[in-house]
Amino acid sequence: MPRLFGTDGIRGLANRELTAALATSVSSGAARVLGVTGAEHTPSGRPLAVVGRDTRASGEFLEAAVIAGLASAGVDVLRLGVIPTPGVAFLTAHTGASLGVMLSASHNPMPDNGIKFFAAGGHKLPDEVEDHIEAVLDQPWSPPVGDDIGRVRDMPEASALYAEHLLASEPTSLTGLKVVVDCAHGAASVVAPEVLRRAGAEVLAIHASPDGLNINFGCGSTHLEDLQAAVLEHEADVGIAHDGDADRCLAVDATGAVIDGDQIMAVLAIAMRDQQRLNHNTLVATVMSNLGLRQAMAEQGISVVDTAVGDRYVLEHMRANGFNLGGEQSGHLISSDYATTGDGVLTALALLAQMSRTGVSLAELAGVMTRLPQVLINVDGVDRTALAEADQVHQEVANVTADLGTGGRVLLRPSGTEPLIRVMVEAPTQAQAQTCAERIALAVRQHLSLA
């Protein structure tokens, strides 16, 4: 049986793969695993959970199912309503809850949905805890009855508390900045424009009218065209793009050029270094971050530590080693001084504050890093499990690496969920990156094909 949890919780087609029955069952299991501490600190003597969701229509019935699972396992529930994923993480810690639950499929299309769990303190779950939750789903247990069942109440002040937390993280006024923010018709449709306005910016919000069906549809951090056009049309200083649950932030400069997560990390790492706030003078990134980021940080005297792909692995490495800034090219950035997970609105505040403090345009700030052309080829129909023993493939990787020298790099990795092997090459030119990637992809097909 395949593992229920993926790299970011449980995700699938709502009401087909991710059903109400599954949501109830896994939430009950999570309550039994995570709800074992903290109950003594609540007035009821029962564990407490907070539950939030993004704007997907399926979030309505899945919210009900999750709450049913938690309450039936003897956990009191605070229903947060529509709120960004980092808001759930913050409120898990703020309320002293034993666990938090977010219903979202992040940047995925509307028909999908997902369940993300947070442990006490608002931290994502390590693999072994997720495995424990899966294990208890098949174990017999005695549900509570009478006054031991959980109670449910709304928390209407949830978004306001989260907004105050965000504003407290950055005292720099954004007065004088004109900002377009693309909310992806998602969970940040209210809170992102509100926070930026309260911080002093002039804000134009686009794609901020969710109807349950339009989340991420042609907008947000995976579709930047409308944001680019709006920045140019309104002569804004900067554009900010979030995804459906607002744990991502990408940007557009005044010329309409895209500023990705690697470039944002470079800007913030230098800002924190200059303020003597960058712990151990180190940035944590994933193996997919552009070589240009590493080159720029080396020039600035900042160390870069790599992790596996996935913001959870960035977070784990940051927590284990005391680092306080990390993230991914996709725009998941974690500032652990203020958050326990990626927070798109927090990232936007920090980026805009650096523009305001320095009086320098985003284009100039981001110019500290030059992105190398990057080509990614997904080779399907291959045996990803045999990659480690494929000597001919590794020899071709070595040949390409030698050809690139210090001016490029190769990353070859199997997909964690599909019969794919991913070939990524960075090189000084797009043509060279494409040619080198195709050479390795051909070797993978020749030696690892399932046909």
For the chain, domain boundaries: 10-156, 161-366, 374-448
Which contacts qualify for 38-41: CB closer than 8 Å, 24 or more apart? Answer: 38/96, 38/97, 38/98, 38/120, 39/98, 41/96
Would you say domain 161-366 falls under CATH 3.40.120.10? yes
- Residue 217 is encoded by which pair of tokens? 């549809």
Stretches where the chain sits below pLDDT 70 are 1, 36-41, 416-417
The CATH number that domain 374-448 falls under is 3.30.310.50
Fold matches, 10-156 and 161-366 = yes
pLDDT value of position 1: 54
Can 28 be counted among the known catalytic residues? no
Q: Given 98, 106, 335, 336, which residue is catalytic?
A: 106
User: How far apart, in whole angstroms, are the C-alpha atoms of residue 193 and residue 339?
Assistant: 19
Prediction pTM value: 0.92
* Cα radius of gyration (the chain): 22
Q: Which CATH class is domain 10-156?
A: alpha beta
96, 41 contact by CB (below 8 A): yes
Q: Quick: pLDDT tens for 349-392.
A: 999 999 999 999 999 999 999 999 999 999 998 888 889 888 99
Measured between alpha carbons, how far is residue 43 from residues 118, 151, 186, 197, 201 in Å?
22, 12, 34, 37, 41
Q: How many CA atoms lie within 13 A of 271 on its CB side?
A: 26
pLDDT value of position 39: 59
